[in-house]
Chain A
């Protein structure tokens, strides 16, 4: 498989590489050949700093099923966080 499934979005935050923490500029999500996971295709997520060299990357390669679980968990955590933030704004 040689897909063109790639989603690139801006990212603000930090990620920890083998060399230490880096500031992030982008998150890159794709479905294509993994490098390490023993799968034919994987959801790969790279958190990168595009202004630094190729090693400025935090990478994961997930099965489609575990990527779906991650996506749902992310959505639940974000929803809970937004409720928390709304409450904080009301208190302020």
Chain B
């Protein structure tokens, strides 16, 4: 039997503008080389599901890092911190981009890295994953799960989120995987159509998979939105896509 092991721990990294933020890291033991993955957490916070997901990627052979995008709101339980961030009107897009770039830099400094890095995110972090992939040249793949508000109305724009991510599609710098539920209301199937049309218009490399019988957050096994068949297929799509674009073995 082949030996398996991983280290999972919280660390401090340099986030936006070099400011220290906390992050949760999970990495396989062994010499590697391993691909790297930034795992951006959803609006409900830097929570247990994201800890588990970070370890899941390590189990599959990735050095995974989940930066705490809500670090500046203070220490506390994930739901309390998320509520505080909501009361402050969310986190600024520019800060998220900086925190994610800091996470990529941390991965690229790891001696076991195979030189390839991807970004994964669901919900608000699906949006942020796409946004980041349009603002960087430092990654090789992006996985956007049901990113709400990639398409935004003028009324939804605000000083922290001044531009709808779809406006940056032309600058998308890497292959994109998108998974969506056809019963989702944010993004709606029509918004996913707009998202896809823009990707096509600019000749971007992408694959979208849309699931009937699923709404928002259909991977979350601890919520009523969970849809086992769609989630199992979705995970296969995620790992297939990441292997194709990040593996060097």
Contacts and interface: CB of A to CB of B under 8 A. Distances in A.
A42 to B, nearest CB: 11
A6 B86 contact: yes
Given A1-B185, A2-B186, A38-B224, A54 B148 contact: no
A6 B89 contact: yes
Given A1-B215, A33-B217, A28 B186 contact: no
Given A1-B186, A54-B74, A35 B44 contact: yes
Interface centre among A1, A8, A32, A39 (most CB of B within 10 A): A1
A30 interface: yes
Contacts of A2: 43, 123-124, 127, 146-149, 186-187, 216
A4 B150 CA distance: 12
Which secondary structure dominates chain B's binding surface? loop
A50 interface: yes
A52 to B, nearest CB: 9
Contact residues on B (Cβ < 8 Å of other chain), bracket: 35 or more
A92 B197 CA distance: 69
B33 to A, nearest CB: 35
B73 interface: yes
Nearest to A53: B74
Contact of A8 (B43, B87, B215): B87
Contacts, number: 82
A2 B43 CA distance: 8
Contacts of A33: 43-44, 123, 217, 223
A8 B200 CA distance: 39
Q: Which 7 A-B pairs have the closest CB atoms?
A: A2-B148, A54-B76, A54-B80, A35-B79, A54-B84, A54-B81, A28-B87
Given A1-B185, A2-B43, 17 more contacts: A2-B127, A2-B147, A4-B156, A28-B87, A33-B123, A35-B82, A36-B79, A44-B83, A46-B83, A50-B87, A53-B74, A53-B76, A54-B74, A54-B80, A54-B81, A54-B83, A59-B83
Interface of A: 1-4, 6, 8, 26, 28, 30, 32-33, 35-36, 38-40, 44, 46, 48, 50, 53-55, 57, 59
Interface of B: 43-44, 73-77, 79-84, 86-89, 123-124, 127, 146-149, 156, 184-187, 215-217, 223-225
